[in-house]
Amino acid sequence: MYAQLVKSEGLKSREDMSPEERDFQDRVDNGEKIEPKDWMPEGYRKTLIRQIGQHAHSEIVGQLPEGNWITRAPTLERKAILLAKVQDEAGHGLYLYSAAETLGVSRDELLEKLHSGKMKYSSIFNYPTLNWADIGAVGWLVDGAAIMNQVPLQRTSFGPYSRAMIRICKEESFHQRQGYAIMMKMAAGTPEQKDMAQDALNRFWFPSLMMFGPSDKDSVHSAQSMAWKIKMNTNDELRQKFVNETVPQADYLGLKVPDDKLAWNEDKQGYDFSEPDWSEFFEVIKGNGPCNRERLNARVKAWDDGAWFREGLNAYADKAADRRKAAAVAAE
């Protein structure tokens, strides 16, 4: 998902909890929202910062693979739609950083951790977008997978995170559909266009499945995050749901999901499918994906090149404030 492998604490039993922790857990269990000024366990705060921060980083790094097609979009309307979508991702990053900031960390601190490699972003954005159908596939599959996770997160226990998710889900509902609309055009287009569409699906299928993270059925980290309602479903549940919803959509397009083991399982009322290559996933997380270096360098360059701009505007604001003060004193 946009937040993968977020470290949390081991699940605490009720007997091991302090009275404050018990009260806190009761509030969460009752579906109450936790707000920034409320008491919260330190582990909850830290886990949330890591999770929301990683999610925010994924949004802004996620601008890059699609952004590189804005100047090559094939019609004026497609160009406007893509630009609006990538702009939304910047907005979503902004909302999420804001949510993290209510927990006592600054956006600049989080960016510093992204730039130095101490914080991660979703593995999916380290894959390249090579043809125009990739823009369709990213919207359809990547946003589709993200929505699987984000819809339940609207009910997460932390108020600011929940509110950011609600706003994001509302804005993102067009993202997946615009992706699918591109895929429909391509799949029904010329033979070359259909090839592009199939090529995009071939390359993005397994990386999309990896977005949900490795199986976490037995993970104590996940158990604690689920008790705190900052993780709402297991990775496997979401992955299964994604496959179940996506396969018929691929069928409709007349495209083949690149998995020979894919088959409907009547008993579980879902598809059986192949696991992604998890060794590839861990390599990508470690920094060895096809685009890790480019993505991070692009973010660092944007930030470093913008330093004088941010400083210049700060300096003017300070001067203007001084001038206003001086004028007020003179008027007295």
Partner 1 sequence: MSKKEWPLWEVFIRGQHGLNHRHVGSLHAPDAEMAINHARDVYTRRREGVSIWVVPSKDITASSPSEKGPLFDPAESKTYRHPTFFDIPDEVGKM
Partner 2 sequence: MSGAQTTDAELKADPFMNDDAIRAAFFEWLCRMGDNALILGHRTSEWCGHGPVLEEDIALANTALDLIGHTQMWLGLAGEVEGKGRDADDLAYLRDAMKFHNLLLVELPKGDMAVTIMREFLFDAYHHLLLKWLAEHSTSPRVAEIAAKALKEVSYHLDRASDIVVRLGDGTEESHRRMQEALELLWPYTGEMFAGDNVDAALSGAGIAPELTGLQGLWDEDVRSILDEATLKTPEPGGYAHLGGKQGRHTEHLGFILAEMQFLQRAYPGASW
* Residues near partner 1, by CB under 8 A: 32-33, 35-38, 77, 80-81, 84, 88, 91, 94-95, 98, 101, 106-108, 144, 159-160, 162-164, 166-167, 170-171, 173-174, 176-178, 180-181, 184, 245, 248-249, 252, 307, 310-311, 313-314, 316-317, 320-321
Least Å distance between CB 223 and partner 1?
Answer: 27
Q: Which does 190 bind (CB under 5 to 8 A by kind): partner 1, partner 2, none?
A: partner 2
Rule CB under 8 A: choose which of 154, 193, 244, 274 binds partner 2. 193
Does position 293 interact with partner 2 (CB under 8 A)? The reply is no
Task: State in angstroms the smallest separation of the CB of 173 from partner 1.
Answer: 4
Least CB distance from residue 329 to partner 2, whole Å?
Answer: 21
Q: Which stretch binds partner 2 (CB under 8 A): 78-86, 201-209, 226-234, 254-262?
A: 78-86
* Interface with partner 2 in residues 83-112 (CB under 8 A): 83-84, 86-87, 90-91, 93-94, 97
Nearer to partner 1, 201 or 284 (CB): 201
What is the C-alpha separation between 295 and 69, in angstroms, rounded? 15
Residue type at position 55: H
Q: Report the distance separating Cα 165 and Cα 153, nearest Å.
A: 7
Which of 185, 221, 241, 256: binder of partner 2 (CB under 8 A)?
185
The answer to whether the CB of 40 falls within 8 A of the CB of 24 is yes
Place of tokens 């730039």: 115
176 binds, among partner 2, partner 1, none (CB under 5 to 8 A by kind): partner 1
The residues that touch partner 2, with contacts defined as CB under 8 A, are 60, 63-64, 67, 70-80, 83-84, 86-87, 90-91, 93-94, 97, 132, 182, 185, 189-190, 192-193, 298, 301-303, 305-317, 319
